Structure 1
Amino acid sequence: MGLQKINQYLRSVELCRSKVPSFSQYPFCLQAVSSLTTLEFHPKVTFIVGENGTGKSTILEAIAAAYGFNPEGGTINFNFSTRSTHSELHDYIKLVKGVWRAEDGFFLRAESFYNLASNIDDLDEGGLGARLVDSYGGTSLHEQSHGEAFLSVFINRFGGSGLYILDEPEAALSPMRQLTMLSRLHQLVQDNSQFIIATHSPIIMSYPDSVIYELKNGYTEVAYKDTEHYQIMKRFINNSDKMLDLLMEE
């Protein structure tokens, strides 16, 4: 994997700890930040998983912003801002890039997807040049269900040879659609793409050619079947009646 690792678009992220004003203040108090020294990315797919509140979205947002993406999502050409709620963490991290520059890229986040869809419509209403929505399947993302719109971006806009940062992409997708996404992800990986993904989905994190970092007392590299998400889902499916009885005990 040596040469491939040199050629990947992002090799690692480092927290410039000496610049941090205080690890007791936000966002530096979040586990994803306070435990970060250097995190190496897989040349194909890197998963960051963990409980709510650990800071997965915050660290992904900082990586995306440091690379040049709009904090609310989109490509590096988007510059809309509906509300400035992103942290300044991107000023405190250092990205180590590979030899080659990505030809394509996208920051897809569930939290602000509505704002992204609105901006695409607003830009097209301006009537300047080709319709932007044609790159997203030809139909306004607002005229589709949330899940259809999410998948439409993934299928139509992601073109390969790109860096794609995804924050909880499963939020809008049914289990079947997550399988569709997994298939498309593999196609894009085969087409020289690199993914960094924060997810809670045992389906999505099952992609085999990847590394999984679980946030639990810091970043720990874990095997897929050793993740807490997989273990809990497996126990529930195999013993759903018993677990429901325990959960609903008075």
Structure 2
Amino acid sequence: MSLKKVTLLKEKIESYAEYPFNIPVIKNFKDLEFKNNVTFFVGENGSGKSTLLESIAVSCGFNISGGGKDNFYPDITDDTILSLYLGLSWLPKVTKGFFLRAESFYNFATYLDKLKDEDESGADVYKPYGGISLHKQSHGESFLSLFNNRFKGRALYLLDEPEAALSPARQLGLLKIIHDLSTKNNAQFIIATHSPILLGYPEATILNFDGEEIEGIKYEETDHYNITKYFLENRKGMLNQLFRDD
């Protein structure tokens, strides 16, 4: 691993009354130590998991819309306030990596098209992404092109809801990529997800953001696992209860 610890610089915070410092897990956050090559952030919408992941990404030098450290968006600013209050500890520090932010992946694809239009050297801008514009691939295909071609070697990969464009079968494919890179190249992954499939990665650290503090949780204890399992085993009864008129 390379990123060892993230610390909230509380002495710099003047007030916890406004976002993002009023989120319970951020308000009570002190530091987070990474002890595994694969770490998952889980929690309900608004729990703070993506907020923290995005802020870590910006603190690492990535753009808020995603990409590598060599990708620059002159018209998009790094507007994550929390990143200004984070301290990162490395051992050793790596310069390679990628930040995938599913909700703004369109911006990254557009950025690549713009680079291609402006490049007069004949360089293949699309080569690390399957050789074709990401906009000319389906949403899921573009994600897979990124994972299969751009993700290589020892690096830090920060993924915010990568399952957003992936079918269950493709999520299994992503698990294979994560396994190969983390075990063979010592790559580090920090992933915010709602996917019970991705969370099933063996021996991963799962951190729950649903309480007052960030806490480790076992796979079988997550809501993602239990709700999905119960639904698959009791689909008719669960739907009847859900649709029942009070």
Structure 1 and Structure 2 fold alike (TM over 0.5): yes
Q: Secondary structure at the match of 1:12?
A: strand
| Structure 1 residue 198 corresponds to structure 2 residue 201 | no
Three-state SS of the structure 1 residue aligned to 2:126 is helix
Change (3 A) 1:151 1:31: farther
Shift of 1:196: 0.5
> What is the rounded CA distance, in whole Å, between the counterparts of 1:155 and 1:31 in structure 2?
37
Per the normalisation by structure 2, the TM-score is 0.94
Quick check: 1:11–1:43 contact (8 Å CA) kept in 2? no
Note the 1:37-116 alignment, pairs <5 A. 37-80=30-73, 82-84=75-77, 86-99=79-92, 101-102=93-94, 104-116=96-108
Task: Name the SS of the counterpart of 1:96 in structure 2.
Answer: strand
Query: Are 1:24 and 2:7 matched, yes or no?
Result: no
Contact 2:37 2:189 in 1 (8 A): yes
CA shift in 2, pair 1:12/1:177, >3 Å: same
- Aligned to 1:132, what secondary structure does the other structure show? coil
2: CA distance between counterparts of 1:81 and 1:32? 32
Does residue 225 in structure 1 map to residue 220 in structure 2? Answer: yes
| Structure 1 residue 104 displacement after superposition | 2.5
Shift of residue 204 of structure 1? Answer: 0.5
Task: Quote how far apart the aligned CAs of 1:35 are.
Answer: 2.5
- Does the aligned pair in 2 maintain the 1:32–1:59 contact within 8 Å? no
1:175-194 deviation digits (Å, cap 9, x = unpaired): 11101111111111122100
C-alpha deviation, 1:237, in angstroms: 0.6
Unmatched segments (≥5 aa) in structure 2: none
The residue type paired with residue 148 of structure 1 is: E
Tell me what 1:234 maps to. 229
| Aligned residue pair count | 242
Q: 1:209 aligns with which of 166, 178, 203?
A: 203
Aligned partner of 2:243: which letter? M
Matched residue type, 1:62: S
Distance 1:222 1:117, change over 3 A: same
2:116 is aligned, of 117, 124, 133, to: 124
For 1:199, the aligned partner's letter is T
Q: How big is the shift at 1:29?
A: 1.1
Distance 1:13 1:179 in 2: 29
Structure 1 residues 139-154: aligned runs within 5 Å: 139-154=132-147
- TM-superposed CA distance for 1:17, in Å, is 1.2
Match of 1:196, SS state, is strand
Matched residues, percent identical?
46
> What is the TM-score when the length of structure 1 is the normalising length?
0.93
Q: Which moved more, 1:18-27 or 1:114-123?
A: 18-27
Query: Which amino acid in 2 is paired with 1:73?
Result: G
Deviation, structure 1 residue 128? 4.0
Q: Deviations over 1:127-174 (max 9, x none)?
A: 244222111110110000101101110111001201000000001111
Q: Aligned letter for 1:113?
A: F
The one-letter amino acid paired with 1:72 is S
CA RMSD of aligned residues (A): 1.4
Distance 2:10 2:96 in 1: 31
Asked if structure 2 preserves the Cα contact closer than 8 Å seen for 1:82 and 1:115, the reply is no
Superposed CA offset, 1:185-223 (max 9, x none):
111112210000000001001111310001122211011
Partner-residue secondary structure (3-state), 1:107: strand
Deviations along 1:12-45, one digit per CA (max 9) or x if unpaired, are 1111112112111111112342131111113311
Q: Which amino acid in structure 1 is aligned with residue 135 of structure 2?
A: H
**Following the alignment from structure 1 to structure 2, what is the Cα–Cα distance between the partners of residues 207 and 214?**
16
CA offset digits 1:84-114 (Å, max 9, x no partner): 4732211101011112x33520000101100
